[in-house]
Structure 1
Amino acid sequence: FTKILMEDKHSAKEIAKKTWEMENNVTERDILKFNEEENDKLFDTRPWLKDPHYFKDVKISVTALIKMVTHCRRGGDIEVMGLMQGKVIGTSFYVLDAFGLPVEGTETRVNAGAEANEYLGDYMGVCEDVGRLENICGWYHSHPGYAPWLSGIDVGTQSLYQAHQEPFVAIVIDPKRTISSGKVDIGCFRTYPEDYKGKESEFESVPMEKIEDFGAHANRYYKLEHSIFKSELDQSQFEFLWNQYWVQTLSTSSLLLCKEAVANTITDISEKVHKYKNNPMLMRRDKLVGYTTGRGERGGEAPKKDNEIAKINKGTTKMVLDNSHMLMSEVLKSMIFSHIECNNEEAKKDVEMEK
């Protein structure tokens, strides 16, 4: 009886883990050895000072990702913050580990105080004692329910880090949308120098009350590509962390956990539609122009931009897909546990017959 129960749980856990890896495109890679000579050479040349777009992508270990997501989920509606350890190879950040900070957070911002700085000092001291040579390469924080992007405060924080602790990257995770979609909703960012003005960041489904803040700083930073990898040494830690993540996922209902976020999203979409309908100038412009096109920097055609109603449609479509995914997850969990329950009943009958 116990053996059957454990086998069913084990297979279901493995399926969920493999599905999670496929959803987040996890690849295998072995880059854990720290090369001090390469690190010194990088800091001597500092190529990022000459090119604001020098860094192109961020490669995150599966262990670091699970730690960050679990931390962000524990925060609920409150923003949390942590730091990442890793290194730089060429134009890529490699995030190998992450740890949370004891910070004071609210639903809209997070501030690191003296306690967090003291904790950071102690943590890095322990890392040196055990031979962990990787530097702090970035920070992460959560945006519960309102997508990964950098607010005005975030831009200021990242700019400060880049001024005094380069190379440094910012990662933002939305734990609410991660739960609803099944795929980690994550963004990696770097800010531009003060005298450099970049292009506006790509479309994000941002709530009405945060659109002004999003638009005001959209050209102060750029988004980096990201990918997830795992190494042989990650496997044991990943198994341990996955057991915690798996239990948390199974023991909670995503539909119930995200019901407030879903209601807020519906209200937000309704407000955006109402605002759009009451703005004849905006409606007329979208109707006449449709998708706006311009001329690129070298005379070619610039990428097309969505008009306002297209942005609303994108946000609505994403909400519907996420809700469908949550419903499917609940159905699958019901099927798994119903199967286990049936096996339990059959096992009990077999025991009774043997008696």
Structure 2
Amino acid sequence: MASSSSTALKTFNIENDIVELSPQDDIYKTDMDADRKLNRESPWSQDPHYFKSCKISAVALIKMVMHARSGVPYEIMGMLQGKIVGTSLVILDSFALPVQGTETRVNAGAEATEYMVAYYQGSQTAGRPENLVGWYHSHPGYGCWLSGIDVSTQMNNQKHTDPFVAIVVDPNRTMTAGKVDIGAFRTYPENYTPPSAASSEYQSIPLSKIEDFGVHANQYYPLEVEIFKSSLETQLLDLLWNKYWVNTLSQSPLISNRAYAVSQLADLNQKLSKVQQSVTSTKASLPSSKDPKDAKQKEKEETKKKENELAKSVKDSTKIAAEAQHGLIAQVIKDVIFSIRPGSGGQVDTSQLTESMNIG
């Protein structure tokens, strides 16, 4: 069990590109005078793109993921403590807020605000001088991006308590993929027109969320996320990991994520039906005597748009199949390792394991 946990932790470190830093690194040094000076100058107020990255401690990451998983299928919320280093927002710790969200939204009430203030004051008393530099919440099953409510909340935070970052974690996709699905975002100031956004990596958004996703997509921008740890954090990370790993072993993604899997299939069905309707309802347009070239170009653009939508649905279906396959493999591996069959003499039968790894 211990060796399995250790191997899983190493795999987790590799999958999430966790970088080990020296305890003497500038990230861990606290200079209150320099921090106050930086806050007075506030260069981020002059440049909407001032912050380029968000560096997150592995300990803070594990705490966020465990909190997010405990809340499924509901959204959860918490706060982030850290500092500013150059153009990076550095997250050194995180703590959960006593907030009961719904499946689509979460807001902090008076009780959560009181808890946040008390926790922060206790943290200062305990010798943790890091300020509150952000908040996090979860999107169970629908990816890492900011909804309209999230954008409004983050804009308000940046207006009154900047510098501040918004982090989103998807616990469902984290469980199925093995790699933490996380995103860090900053909103633009009001009345600011951002430059044309560069094309980002495709992510599957449920059809019911696409409109909300598209409407607010130009009101914020993503930060590059980097995960780090130090040798001094290793023991604490091991303790947190043991709890995380036991939960992972005791759960089957096929069972714990079945509602998510069903919702994915239902969403894929809706998307394919929408594409089918648009294809069947489309009629070839007759060439216009005025400008046949324009008509032909318009027809090509419409065809390309439909093909693009179909290609996205194919990507979604491939992702669903891959996640189901990984869940089956994980279940077979657990069965082979932990189940002792009559007549086996306590020996592990690896034939099933070999067969499972050759699936597909």
**TM-score interval w.r.t. the shorter chain?**
0.7 to 0.9
Shift of 1:29: 1.5
Structure-2 separation of matches of 1:283 and 1:204: 31
Match of 1:130 in 2: 126
1:19 pairs with 2:16? no
Shift of 1:52: 1.0
Match of 1:161 in 2: 157
Match of 1:288 in 2: 300
Match of 1:241 in 2: 240
Q: In structure 2, what residue type is equivalent to 1:86?
A: G
Match of 2:350 in 1: none
Deviant stretches of 4+, over 3 Å: 199-203, 280-287, 289-292, 338-346
Shift of 1:128: 1.2
| Pairing of 1:146-185 with structure 2 (within 5 A) | 146-185=142-181
Q: In structure 2, what residue type is equivalent to 1:222?
A: Y
1:314 pairs with 2:315? yes
Structure-2 separation of matches of 1:341 and 1:66: 39
Shift of 1:75: 0.1
Alignment CA distance shift 1:51-1:335 (3 Å): same
Deviations 1:34-54 (A, max 9, x none): 122331232122111121111
* Contact residue 181 and residue 326 of structure 1 kept, 8 A: no
Shift of 1:342: 9.3
Alignment CA distance shift 1:50-1:205 (3 Å): same
Scaled by the length of structure 1, the TM-score of the pair is: 0.86
Gaps of at least 5 residues in structure 1 are: 1-8, 293-305, 347-355
* Contact residue 54 and residue 225 of structure 2 kept, 8 A: yes
Deviations 1:112-144 (A, max 9, x none): 001011101110111111111111111000001
Q: In structure 1, what residue type is equivalent to 2:7?
A: I
Q: In structure 1, what residue type is equivalent to 2:300?
A: L
Query: 1:53 aligned to 41, 46, 49, which one?
Result: 49
Alignment CA distance shift 1:282-1:194 (3 Å): farther
Match of 1:206 in 2: 205
Shift of 1:343: 9.5
* Contact residue 101 and residue 120 of structure 1 kept, 8 A: yes
Shift of 1:340: 11
Match of 1:279 in 2: 278
Q: In structure 2, what residue type is equivalent to 1:144?
A: P
Structure-1 separation of matches of 2:34 and 2:310: 49
Match of 2:117 in 1: 121
**Matched length:** 325
Deviations 1:138-176 (A, max 9, x none): 100000111111000000000000001111110101101
Alignment CA distance shift 1:335-1:227 (3 Å): farther
Gaps of at least 5 residues in structure 2 are: 285-296, 348-360
Alignment CA distance shift 1:282-1:142 (3 Å): farther
Scaled by the length of structure 2, the TM-score of the pair is: 0.84
Query: 1:66 aligned to 29, 46, 62, which one?
Result: 62
Match of 1:328 in 2: 329
* Contact residue 58 and residue 93 of structure 1 kept, 8 A: yes
Match of 1:221 in 2: 220
Structure-2 separation of matches of 1:124 and 1:344: 55
Shift of 1:65: 0.3
